[in-house]
Structures are given as structure tokens and as C-alpha cells.
Amino acid sequence: MGTKKTFNFLVEGGKATGGPPIGPALGPLGINVMQVVNKINELTKEFA
């Protein structure tokens, strides 16, 4: 298993996108950005 990294992003509930700041931070690491964005939006939609 690789190194564990933590990222902090401030986004409106249910409105995260693959653009900055999330996409540029995760894309170079080979992480599926849209999968992460969809999960963030699912978990934060009630805060919109």
C-alpha cells in the first residue's frame, strides 16, 4: 500500500466539480476525480 495523503477542500454542499481545486490536486495522482467528486456531492447534498 502506498503513502496515505489527506486533502482539505472547501466546496458548497453538493456542488463539487472536477475543476480547481479538486481536479488539479487529485488528477496527477492517478485518482478517478469524477468518482471522488460524485462521492463528495452525495455526502454533502443536504448542506446545499
6-16 pLDDT, tens per residue?
999 999 999 99
Q: Which residues contact 16 (CB under 8 A, 6 or more apart)?
A: 9, 22, 37, 40, 41, 44
Q: Is the pLDDT of residue 1 over 80?
A: no
Domain boundaries, the chain: 19-48
The pTM of this model reads: 0.85
Name the band, by pLDDT with cuts 50, 70 and 90, for residue 2: confident
Q: Is the pLDDT of residue 19 over 70?
A: yes
